[in-house]
Structure 1
């Protein structure tokens, strides 16, 4: 598979995991998941992790995976690159895993004393992708193993931080986020 084909495939299979956090930011607000609870003197997650954002983000990613399934024959025909369809388990696991990864990162940030919105290089850029991949591997193992080759995983782990930085800067510039990371 050529580098361009790997890049297209990486974007295709990860789009349902890339979109949820952006959708959650746009739809955010509402009740915090942690209900204001603390561990020691620090919040468990903080006000930025809400039930509404988590549900909307997960549904947005699943809806995108469904749309990609509908577009798959056209994309294969147009690009000449074999992109897979998403089984139901992956349609849910990729976006839910992305949201759970972001929640886990928030928990880690609070435990390390970082405030809401504080940067945590590395964790901020890969948390959602790694948990999305792990959850998908658990709930759709045969699909995962047939799609995610070692080369594809390397491309995903290299490209994801770049996409994350670019989309966060854009969200900041358009006023959706209070910080550009």
Structure 2
């Protein structure tokens, strides 16, 4: 098991998933256009919700691409990790809306696993990870995200502690 590979993957995931949160703290609602443009699914609920923005998707992807370079990876690998992480985040939002949960409602596991597992599986060979390392990194991301979310809430960078 290669700890460096896991730490590198976690850094990319943190960049991708943290950039939208930091952008919201800095810019507020400026340029935060909802990705779904307010569309509703056949069940009458929002497709994704107002918290999933074009700005967040772009910055999450860009952040992972930028962080990849000092980690010894090609920026395109980072960009792919970022895009896949954002796709996982969108999937979890879509599922949460189907369950009737609001954008800010907590759903442990559903809020962390898709945005970490999907990019790690998609980019497995580019990151040099085996399946045990993917599972460990996903578990570490889940636990770490819960801790970091509470910290960001205390620092005033998140609206809620999760």
- With the length of structure 2 as denominator, give the TM-score of the two structures: 0.86
- The two structures, once aligned, show a CA RMSD in angstroms of 1.7
Runs of 5+ unmatched residues, structure 1: 70-85
Deviations 1:3-48 (A, max 9, x none): xx52x43111231122112111121331100001111321111110
SS in 2 for 1:180: coil
Q: 1:24 maps to what in 2?
A: 20
Whole-angstrom distance in 1 between the partners of 2:46 and 2:33: 14
Whose helix proportion is higher, 1 or 2?
Answer: 1
Question: Is 1:18–1:98's contact at 8 Å kept on the other side of the alignment?
Answer: no
Determine which structure has more spread, i.e. the larger CA radius of gyration: 1
2:99 is aligned, of 91, 107, 112, to: 112
1:152 is aligned, of 133, 147, 154, to: 133
2:35 is aligned, of 33, 36, 41, to: 33
Whole-angstrom distance in 1 between the partners of 2:82 and 2:23: 15
Whole-angstrom distance in 2 between the partners of 1:108 and 1:154: 22
Q: 2:64 maps to what in 1?
A: 61
Deviations 1:124-147 (A, max 9, x none): 12121112123324xxx4x35xx1
Runs of 5+ unmatched residues, structure 2: none
Query: C-alpha displacement at 1:88, in angstroms?
Result: 4.4
Whole-angstrom distance in 2 between the partners of 1:57 and 1:150: 24
Q: 1:76 maps to what in 2?
A: none
Q: 1:77 maps to what in 2?
A: none
Query: C-alpha displacement at 1:115, in angstroms?
Result: 0.9
Question: Is 2:68–2:74's contact at 8 Å kept on the other side of the alignment?
Answer: no
- With the length of structure 1 as denominator, give the TM-score of the two structures: 0.78
Whole-angstrom distance in 1 between the partners of 2:154 and 2:68: 27
Deviations 1:140-168 (A, max 9, x none): x4x35xx1123312321321111111111
